[in-house]
Amino acid sequence: MVGLLRYLREGARGRTPAGLHVFEDLVVIEPVDERDRLVPDGVAGDKLLESVLSGRTLPLLHYELTDRVRLATRARPCGLPFRLIEAVEGRTDDLMQLPGNAGGTVTVHPIAVHRALDDVPAAGWQVREEEDRLRVLISRPGPGFSSERVATSLAAALEAAGKRPLVVARRR
């Protein structure tokens, strides 16, 4: 989300922690799909087009960021007239495209992997996407570590996303 940080400084939280206001007199953001078509508010775009209106030397128009942003559909209770970023869902660059259980491909967001592996008793972990499997490398496993539990937890998270690949967990 490094790209998103460029305009976060142009936004401000209102009186409610419901999101981030974008000062549209300084910067305009447009969540779009993979073909650069605007997506409706409440739907996360595949990328973001940013136009900075406050640049002093060079205008930045429709600069493409791979940040997945969802704009709010509800009224802003704080009364500010600016649009509200309701959620930042990561970067399109980070998404995994895996074969689905019912054919085709399934897009899996890294957050599904993080949720499944955050409680692993280890110093760290790394997931490698291979042709026919996901390989999980575990660094310095702690007491109670079980590679079978890691594989089961990750497989369940991926199954919930529509994919159940072969998952291999091993110590590094």
> Per-residue pLDDT tens for 107-119?
777 878 888 888 8
Cα(134)–Cα(150) distance, rounded to whole angstroms? 12
Tens of pLDDT, residues 126-165 = 988 877 677 889 999 999 998 888 888 888 888 877 765 5
11 and 71 co-located in one domain:
yes
Q: What's the total number of domains in the chain?
A: 2
Domain span at 22: 2-91
pLDDT of 166: 54
pLDDT of 128: 85
Residue 1 predicted with pLDDT over 50: no
83 and 107 co-located in one domain:
no
Indicate the residue among 36, 58, 91 that finishes a domain.
91
Indicate the residue among 71, 91, 111 that finishes a domain.
91
Residue 162: CB atoms within 10 A of its CB come to 16
**133: nearest Cα among 104, 102, 164, 109:** 164
123 and 157 co-located in one domain:
yes
CA distances to 35, 92, 113, 150 from 164, rounded to whole Å, are 29, 21, 12, 14
- Indicate which CATH number applies to the domain containing 165: 3.30.300
Cα(141)–Cα(172) distance, rounded to whole angstroms? 9
Tens of pLDDT, residues 50-86 = 998 887 787 789 999 988 899 988 877 777 788 888 8
106 and 82 co-located in one domain:
no
40 and 121 co-located in one domain:
no
